[in-house]
Structure 1
């Protein structure tokens, strides 16, 4: 685990994250693809371990019945995805926010059955989960018609 810093494109929002694991994951759900313009590659960080500066520039939206997303209101950089249901304590941070994005290992891909055929990630040493796998694993997603994406 390490301490990593990062921020948005314009620098209005910065963070220092402590105890960051070297694991990254990819989400292919429709909402993440629309939010990022591609698959979301993210690192899970305990919410309590993130110190933010420039919080006046952070905007949030509840994007499903169980999750919120945040961005910088100055430059539009996506800052995080966070489950709001079931007392979740982690924040998913886009890999590109980190000043040094080296040293992370890709360990899973979720909503793999929603991935477009126009791209693929190399390697096979990771867990692949379908939409149904995600609903079964993460109870908050099983809340009705919006369980299509996060």
Structure 2
């Protein structure tokens, strides 16, 4: 499976944690919810995956239950944000910054667009979902 072109690889800043995930057409999404902005200092840019990523260095992954239904994980060595995941269903929003090639992926989706503050905007035209749309999707 290592030679599979749809398997993409990423790692944290220090390399203690690496992540592999199957993704045929990787793209970037942005979450504007208040928790993501508090966590990351701005919108959380991610690669969405409905499959469980393969994590190496799991002993360095720490998780925080940020709500009743989700948790956020980071590297305990360098502090790099790794992913947001739903506690049920297998959905992961993996930090786009982990992947060397993420700057070449299309930017396609913004979620919790109704929570986006007015002091920034992306130039790209994307699909947009409100918080209510997202909650309906995962309920």
TM-score range for the pair, normalised by the shorter chain length: 0.7 to 0.9
In structure 2, stretches of 5+ residues that fail to align are none
Superposition RMSD on alpha carbons, in Å?
1.6
- Whether contact under 8 Å (1:20, 1:45) holds in the other structure is no
Which residue is 2:37 aligned to? 33
My pick for the range that moved more, 13-22 or 56-65, is 13-22
Q: Provide Cα deviations, 1:40-76, integer angstroms capped at 9, x if missing partner.
A: 111112433x222111100011110110110000111
In structure 1, stretches of 5+ residues that fail to align are 140-150
Q: Secondary structure at the match of 1:31?
A: helix
- Whether contact under 8 Å (1:112, 1:131) holds in the other structure is yes
**Separation in structure 2 between the aligned mates of residue 55 and residue 111 of structure 1, nearest angstrom:** 30
**Separation in structure 1 between the aligned mates of residue 29 and residue 135 of structure 2, nearest angstrom:** 17
* Count of aligned pairs between the two proteins: 135
Q: Secondary structure at the match of 1:21?
A: coil
1:8-23 → structure 2 map (5 Å cutoff): 8-23=12-27
TM-score, normalization: structure 2? 0.88
C-alpha displacement of 1:20: 4.6
**Separation in structure 1 between the aligned mates of residue 24 and residue 82 of structure 2, nearest angstrom:** 16
Which residue is 2:81 aligned to? 78
**Separation in structure 1 between the aligned mates of residue 103 and residue 27 of structure 2, nearest angstrom:** 11
Alignment match of 1:53 (pick from 43, 52, 56): 56
Which residue is 1:118 aligned to? 119
